[in-house]
A and B are shown apart, each in its own frame.
Chain A
Amino acid sequence: MKLLIRGGTVVEPVDGRMLEQDVLLSDGRIAGTGRNLSAAGAEVIDASGKLVVPGLVDMHVHLREPGYEAKETLLTGARAAVRGGFTSVACMPNTNPVVDNAALVSYIKNTAAALGLARVYPVGAISRGSRGEELAEMGHMKKAGAAAFSDDGQPVADAGLMRRAMQYARMLGMTVISHCENKELSLGGTMHEGYVSTLLGLKGIPASSEEVMVARDLLLAEETGCRLHIAHVSTAGSVRLVREAKARGIRVTAEVTPHHFTLTDEAVVGYDTSTKVNPPLRTAFDVAAVKEGLADGTIDVIATDHAPHTIEEKDVEYERAPFGMVGLETAMGLVWTELVVGGVLTPLQAVTKMTLHPARVLNIPGGTLGAGAPADITIIDPAASETVDPSLFESKGRNTPFAGRALKGLPWAAIVGGRLVMVERRIADSLE
């Protein structure tokens, strides 16, 4: 089966090229790129005026299966992913049971693969049950296909355990993804600690709650030589710490979510529980620092931390609502609108942070359109615009504060393994 993508602007993050070219896909692989390609019997997609980029990779999502299928399943999560232009996602292990063993890693991999939508890479837990007490079987999980290790949702409070996890992960050649939070400092907090939390009377989560753990984990990464990835950086102090650590040669990468570079704690005014996320939305000062970090390369990756919840769970008092917002279906538009149109990143930089960089952190295929690479492609229409309408989401989660927001630059098509799985924001199986 062949697919010819004609007339688009091809973005190749590996060597930073952006050229008007055709891309030919054959047997699930990229056969070649070049001008005026032709192939007998190939299905042709006209991509003129659009960007043809390696399939987007979201290295931080919560798909909720097993255990919380009312929030999301591998199927609805994978559908949401491709609607958002993501051809690969890495899902965090904080399901029920926690993904802390090889059998569950295999279950997620196999179940997701059978769906034929986005590729799903399970992240294995650092500790058994993510309880932070003893190491999970990281070696077995790696063999079963775990892409990285994380107790995301929970910080690894015990520095000794985190140190051993990094030593072990280093031996396996794997990345440890850290959810940086000091629970004593964030205790009972539901939003950023500052003037807005004071006004609203909500207990705050100080910036230091994140920063002390970033600092600790950077020191442990330096000591162990392990590859450390800081999840959802939200504060100016964290950006500074990562920048300094990189300058010292520590093997660290970092990600930021679209909501952390788009919204501030002012969004919590009115107590809309879809603004309740962990780490919390910070101040304009932090948002500016995060954008600076994106621009200067301190922050390598854009990831959504897609965290679906049911309407019932979120339609309660702010303090009672669970943390998290959905992100898969708004990410590309927010990146384009806030960062590209906003002049923070070039299209190439933005694409690199959503493709090549996360693929490298996870050591998975992707991030390139080079011949022989898997035919995972996202086609972005920079001219397209939409008003976010959660009722159109493929995700079961509707918990987004972006409803009604006008976004530009949308994923127009997604191709996984040479198969067109999404066109014009509709999943392929509903195209017929």
Chain B
Amino acid sequence: MAINGKDLISLKNIPAETIKLILDTAEPMKEIIKRQIKKVPTLRGRTVVTVFYEASTRTRTSFELAAKYLSADVVNIAAATSSVSKGESLKDTARTITSMGADVVVLRHPMAGASELLARTVDASVINAGDGAHEHPTQALLDLFTVREKKGRLEGLKVAIVGDILHSRVARSDIWGYTTMGAEVRLAGPATLMPPGIEKTGARVYNDLEEALEGADVVNILRIQLERQRQGLFPGLREYAVMFGINRDRLKLAAPDALVMHPGPMNRGVEISPEVADGLQSVINTQVTNGVAVRMALLYLLTGGAHIEAAY
């Protein structure tokens, strides 16, 4: 069984059974990662191209490892951000990708909708690895996988997402993923960083951070970018840390066994205090490992999902 549809652009409208399939498939993939020889021949002869218009070593490496563990050939195109301004269009990149005979394209792009545009243009499967402030579905899937792994379920959990929701593609994908899987999503952050109408997604917006944290099973802390202060979206980093930073005291408001998550990279001492980042409740490192497993599952499913048995 494979995923219906060619691409993974967004988690909106992805049904629960598909998400479950991806998470279930990621479990054996994680087993592969734990082996001494982390390689199965599943995607031999297939080509995965990563195209990053925005630098993100973490995400790119995660996809690259996932492809390599499955024996795919991997090509990285570091589309320098400057080429965007130089006028090299995404369409030109699409032509390059097509002539390379790519089976899967992983696209990171600073503009919302770029992966949808690419998906319309190329025959290859397109995985959205983050497009502007739109979505980052694989990050959300690894979040869901991590929570399910630790909690044994997703349904009925209370998930607090804290910080810059306005610019967060992770938050948008998380909201769809969690609500589809029956979890409750609470959003908290500065009013100037809360996107209008977000409550129509089914998530609840809290004006009071403490209320949002009350009894939460998962606390997902978003990165705050310094640039936002320069844009005048909030008054200052110190004030942010005081009002919205998650420290040990604040975390006590959540359920005693609440998981602390962060999509990285972290600003320690701003949105997350060091003792929370490195504390016992933190699963931030697990998220990174699980990212590879989930991406392996996706590559496998999008390329037809043939012969999973061969992986063992």
Contact = CB atoms under 8 A, between A and B. Distances in A.
30 contacts: A193-B196, A194-B197, A195-B196, A195-B198, A197-B196, A198-B172, A198-B195, A198-B196, A199-B172, A199-B201, A200-B112, A201-B131, A201-B169, A202-B113, A202-B132, A202-B133, A203-B133, A270-B116, A271-B113, A316-B90, A316-B91, A316-B117, A317-B111, A317-B114, A317-B117, A318-B113, A318-B117, A319-B132, A320-B84, A320-B111
Contacts of A200: 112-113, 134
A142 B105 CA distance: 57
A270 B120 CA distance: 10
A339 B51 CA distance: 47
B197 A201 contact: no
Interface in B24-42: none
Nearest to A283: B197
Nearest to B121: A315
B20 to A, nearest CB: 24
B109 interface: yes
A201 B196 contact: no
Contacts of B112: 200-202, 271, 318-319
Given A196-B197, A316-B89, 8 more contacts: A195-B200, A197-B196, A198-B172, A198-B195, A201-B132, A202-B132, A319-B111, A319-B132
Interface in B188-226: 195-198, 200-201
A231 to B, nearest CB: 25
Interface in B123-157: 131-135
Nearest to A316: B89
B12 interface: yes
A271 to B, nearest CB: 3
A200 B134 CA distance: 5
A195 B201 CA distance: 9
Nearest to B199: A195
Contacts of B201: 199
A397 interface: no
Contacts of A203: 133
Nearest to A192: B196
Interface residues of B, number: 25
Interface of A: 193-204, 270-271, 315-320
A200 B14 CA distance: 16
Closest 5 CB pairs of A and B: A195-B197, A201-B134, A271-B113, A201-B133, A201-B112
Contacts of B90: 316-317
Contacts of B117: 271, 316-318
A281 to B, nearest CB: 15
Nearest to B114: A317
Nearest to B195: A198
B135 A201 contact: yes
B196 A317 contact: no
Interface string B101-116: 0000000010111101
B133 to A, nearest CB: 4
A199 B91 CA distance: 24
B228 to A, nearest CB: 13
B114 to A, nearest CB: 5
Interface in B66-106: 84, 89-91
Contacts of B134: 200-202
B269 to A, nearest CB: 28
Contacts of A320: 84, 111
B12 A199 contact: yes
Nearest to B112: A201
A317 B109 contact: yes
Interface string B167-189: 00100100000000000000000
Contact of A204 (B113, B169, B196, B198): B196
Contact of B196 (A194, A270, A316, A319): A194
Given A193-B196, A194-B196, A195-B196, A201 B172 contact: yes
A355 B195 CA distance: 42
B191 to A, nearest CB: 14
A317 B90 CA distance: 8
A177 to B, nearest CB: 30
A315 B116 CA distance: 13
B82 to A, nearest CB: 14
A323 to B, nearest CB: 16
Nearest to B169: A201
A388 B84 CA distance: 33
A195 B202 CA distance: 12
A157 B195 CA distance: 27
Contacts of B172: 198-199, 201
Nearest to A198: B195
